[in-house]
């Protein structure tokens, strides 16, 4: 039986953090079962941050180093860069001709962003940003991916993608593209240091690639049960960020820590120290792996080069079908050069 094809992507907009870890752990598991494409969405990154000088191919490289250190494996998955597969641009243009603007304007992500820009006094909702979901649809369907692991926030984009697919297949009376499904898998809900969602925009994140010193200082900043003043006061671990981290990264000790906290048998300082140790133990194999990878600077470039080549092969194949469906090919030519 043909294996299902997965495509997912991340924008290279800064250091990955612990909130990304369970997503990457899922990606790692998928590689054993599916035909996986993992994409650096660097064009997407530019839709909101076109003026960020840091958004170069080096940002892609940094992010992919994090992917590799947690075990995304170029032998098993196609790891590639969006901007290296120009066919995405062609398909994006073609689909823009059949996509009603109203479908894009009603996307909640678009409406939110416009609102945010307005509050910040900026007037920079670009043409490209409006097309964000369309470019994302292209990323998926150009590889004929049928499963897309995304967070809930991306579900409207996936629904939009399915609509575009139906419209295309209907207009050109053939099933060129499959309708992709969202693949909602469990992601550990990691909160940030302050108990809100972990996010760079809140500045409450713990980087994935870090060092013991930084981890210790981040953990010291975590909010605990505010009602607890003395180490002997009974605590409420269910409202404590530190405890929620023990649950994910210090599974064996979690129950005991929770009990001790409730009984006032453990102080927050000590509790945080033990979390920092657990986190460092959890992450250091990844850091070591990344140090090894950094010894061979060309390695990541090779991975991206080869992965992009593989991706391009598939994208070109799909584009031949698209051009044929739309009646664009010169007889005898595939349109690929
Ligand atoms: N929009 C996604 C995000 O911000 C990134 C992305 C771009 C993506 N293209 C994709 C995700 C295709 C899945 C499939 O998280
Ligand atoms: Fe949180 Fe630990 Fe303090 Fe309890 S002892 S409130 S779990 S930091």
Ligand closest to CA 134? 1
Let me know whether 108 and 139 are in one domain: yes
Distance of CA 165 to the CA centre of its chain: 23
Residue 97's domain is classified under what CATH number? 3.40.50.620
Assess contact for 246 and 277: CB atoms under 8 A: no
Q: For the CA atoms of the chain, what is the radius of gyration? A: 23
- Mean pLDDT over the full length of the chain: 93
| From 5, 6, 7, 9, mutation site for ligand 1 pocket: most ligand atoms within 8 A of C-beta | 9
- pLDDT value at 124 more than 80: no
Instruction: Give the domain range for residue 222.
Output: 210-292
283 shares a domain with 241? yes
Q: Which helix (H) or strand (E) holds 80?
A: strand 77-81
pLDDT at position 23 over 80: yes
Helix (H, G, I), strand (E, B) or coil at 148: strand
- 147 C-alpha to center of ligand 1: Å? 13
- Check residue 223 and report its DSSP letter: -
State the total domains in the chain.
2
Band of the pLDDT at 71, cuts 50, 70, 90?
A: very high
Same domain, 170 and 235: no
Distance CA 100, CA 127 (A): 14
Does residue 200 fall inside a structural domain?
no
Q: Is residue 235 part of a domain?
A: yes
- Residue 196 domain-assigned? no
8 A C-beta contact, residue 133 and residue 76: no
How far, in whole angstroms, is CA 248 from its chain's centroid? Answer: 20
Q: In this model, does residue 49 exceed pLDDT 90?
A: no
Cα 101 versus chain centre, distance: 26
Q: Given a cut of 90, is residue 5 above it in pLDDT? A: yes
CA dihedral 38, 42, 48, 51 (to 10 degrees): 160
Give residue 307's pLDDT.
98
* Mean pLDDT confidence for 215-232: 90
**Distance between CA 89 and CA 69 in Å, rounded?**
30
| Ligand 1, residues at Cβ distance < 6 Å | 7-11, 41, 44, 136, 139-140, 148, 150, 154
pLDDT value at 176 more than 80: yes
For residue 305, the SS3 value is: helix
Predicted pLDDT at 185: 80
In the predicted model, what is the mean pLDDT of residues 234-258? 93
d(CA 198, CA 204): 6
- The answer, yes or no, to whether any atom of ligand 2 lies below 6 A from the CB of 47, is no
Q: For residue 288, what is the domain's CATH number?
A: 1.10.240.10
CB of 235 sitting under 6 A from ligand 2: yes
pLDDT at 116 (0 to 100): 84
Tokens describing residue 53: 């000088």
Q: 270 and 181, same structural domain?
A: no
Mean pLDDT of 11-28: 93
Q: What is the pTM of this model?
A: 0.93
What single DSSP character describes residue 330?
P
Atom of ligand 1 nearest to the CA of 41: 7
């Amino acid at each position: 039986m043909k294996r299902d094809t997965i495509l997912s992507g991340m924008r290279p907009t800064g250091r990955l953090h612990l909130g990304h870890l369970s997503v990457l752990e899922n990606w790692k598991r998928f590689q054993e079962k599916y035909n996986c494409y993992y994409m650096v969405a660097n064009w997407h990154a530019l839709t909101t941050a076109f003026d960020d000088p840091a958004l170069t191919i080096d940002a892609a490289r940094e992010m992919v180093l994090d992917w590799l250190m947690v075990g995304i494996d170029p032998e098993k998955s196609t790891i590639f860069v969006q901007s290296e597969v120009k066919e995405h641009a062609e398909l994006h243009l073609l689909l823009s001709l059949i996509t009603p603007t109203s479908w894009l304007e009603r996307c909640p992500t678009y409406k939110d962003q416009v609102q945010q820009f307005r509050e910040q006094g900026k007037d920079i909702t670009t043409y490209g940003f409006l097309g964000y979901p369309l470019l994302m649809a292209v990323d998926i369907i150009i590889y004929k991916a049928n499963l897309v692991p995304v967070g809930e926030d991306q579900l409207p984009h996936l629904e939009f993608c399915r609509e575009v697919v139906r419209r295309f297949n209907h207009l050109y009376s053939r099933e060129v593209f499959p309708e992709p499904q969202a693949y909602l898998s469990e992601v550990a809900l990691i909160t940030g240091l302050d108990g809100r969602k972990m996010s760079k925009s809140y500045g409450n994140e713990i980087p994935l690639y870090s060092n013991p010193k930084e981890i210790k200082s981040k953990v010291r900043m975590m909010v605990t049960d505010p009602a607890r003043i003395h180490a002997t006061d009974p605590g409420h671990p269910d409202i404590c960020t530190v405890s929620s981290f023990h649950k994910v990264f210090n599974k064996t000790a979690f129950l005991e820590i929770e009990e001790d906290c409730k009984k006032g048998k453990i102080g927050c300082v000590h509790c945080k120290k033990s979390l920092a140790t657990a986190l460092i133990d959890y992450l250091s194999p990844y850091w070591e792996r990344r140090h090894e990878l950094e010894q061979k600077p060309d390695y990541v470039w090779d991975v991206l080069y080869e992965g992009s080549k593989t991706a391009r092969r598939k994208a070109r194949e799909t584009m031949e079908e698209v051009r044929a469906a739309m009646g664009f090919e010169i007889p005898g030519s595939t349109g690929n050069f």
